[in-house]
Amino acid sequence: MAYVDGFVIPLPKENLEAYLDMSRQCGAIWKEYGALEFRECVGDDVPPGKVTSFPLSVDLRDGEAVVFSWIVYASRAERDAINDKAMNDPRMAHFMDPKNLPFDGKRMIYGGFEMMIDL
């Protein structure tokens, strides 16, 4: 069964184009190395909650939007191999420096998930 890396990111709205540019570049690298899907979604209907919500999860601030992203791989082993290649690709060096990110990486949430159902 497939494996998924998921991300929730607080993105300053003024940095949307820079983020999409970065994502297109990174997505091309991940796809080149074998990722099956590379998706980026910007929040459109993400209401704040009192206990849990996407905005609460990333400490969303005025002028920011929630980005929900995922990358799909054939398996966990494929994910590990692809991530290793992508993260060591010289084209990624610029994005590895937190100063160059169009968002606050300290408030990003991410994790790997084993897919259980795929309809």
Rounded Cα distance between 27 and 22, Å, is 8
Rg (C-alpha) for the chain, rounded Å, is: 15
- The torsion angle over the Cα atoms of residues 60, 27, 29 and 24, rounded to 10 degrees, is -90
Q: What is the pLDDT confidence band of residue 3, given thresholds at 50, 70 and 90?
A: very high
Pairing of strands 109-114, 3-12: antiparallel
pLDDT in tens, 41-75: 999 999 999 999 999 999 999 999 999 999 999 99
pLDDT in tens, 16-36: 999 999 999 999 999 999 999
| Cβ atoms within 10 Å of 104's Cβ, excluding its own | 16
List beta partners, residue 64: 12
> What pLDDT is recorded for position 104?
94
